[in-house]
Chains A and B, each alone.
Chain A
Amino acid sequence: EDQVTQSPEALRLQEGESSSLNCSYTVSGLRGLFWYRQDPGKGPEFLFTLYSAGEEKEKERLKATLTKKESFLHITAPKPEDSATYLCAVQPRGGGSNYKLTFGKGTLLTVNP
């Protein structure tokens, strides 16, 4: 069974204080690992897809990396508007016709001014 574990559950940072969120996964062959951002009262919003170990992607203050067992979302010099819940999800290779993503429970990031 595919599993995704995110840590920490919650993280509080001061503006400008860089940090990383972790996503550990077990999956029977990885087709893709996804990062989403979810603001309160809204649906998840796509950030990145990573397909293979060693791959990295960047967007503004965010950088996602992938190894064979985990992914990191690095946040450099965060701003209060980066406050949100960050979700990690994996899609296994194969899996029949289902495009199912298995989600972690998320990391609630709060950035104080």
Chain B
Amino acid sequence: EAQVTQNPRYLITVTGKKLTVTCSQNMNHEYMSWYRQDPGLGLRQIYYSMNVEVTDKGDVPEGYKVSRKEKRNFPLILESPSPNQTSLYFCASSLSRSAGVPGANVLTFGAGSRLTVL
């Protein structure tokens, strides 16, 4: 089944304790992205990656790091989590950014990771 898999789905941690949220896709997609979803703010992009070893900041990158060493994986790293990073996180991927190929630019989302930082 084509999917984006995130782990963990739920996590409660304490301020300052480094954590990594993994994201893996099995569709050979080039583009991957992380979003956070907060009540009243909607989905906001954190980081994105156009391909292996190519990453860049989205709208709210502060406090986060990413890496793309393999095409299928795009982990989100919180080096020193703070309470304002308590949120619902989504990883998403698409085949490419090209709108010329039908469906190529459609994002497939993971099921989400709910993070609570105390």
| A22 and B98 alpha carbons, distance in the complex (Å) | 27
Q: Is the interface of A mostly helix, strand, loop or mixed?
A: loop
The answer on a CB contact under 8 Å between B112 and A46 is no
| A104 and B31 alpha carbons, distance in the complex (Å) | 21
| A32 and B100 alpha carbons, distance in the complex (Å) | 11
Tier of interface size on chain B: 20 to 34
**A101 proximity list for chain B (CB < 8 A):** 43, 45, 107
Q: Which residues 64-118 of B have a CB within 8 angstroms of A?
A: 90, 92, 94, 97, 99, 105-112
- Which B positions have Cβ atoms within 8 angstroms of A? 4, 31, 33, 40-45, 48, 50, 54, 56, 58, 90, 92, 94, 97, 99, 105-112
A20-42 CB mask vs B (1 if < 8 Å, else 0) is 00000000000110101000011
| A87 and B94 alpha carbons, distance in the complex (Å) | 18
Q: Which chain A residue has the least Cβ–Cβ distance from B58? A: A100
Interface status of A8 (Cβ within 8 A of chain B): no
Q: Which residues 62-113 of A have a CB within 8 angstroms of B?
A: 87, 89, 91, 97-101, 103-106
- Which A positions have Cβ atoms within 8 angstroms of B? 31-32, 34, 36, 41-46, 49, 51, 87, 89, 91, 97-101, 103-106
**A89 proximity list for chain B (CB < 8 A):** 43
Known: A97-B56, A99-B48, A105-B42. A43 touches B90 (CB 8 A): yes
**Which residue of B41, B45, B58, B109 contacts A44 across the interface (Cβ within 8 Å)?**
B109
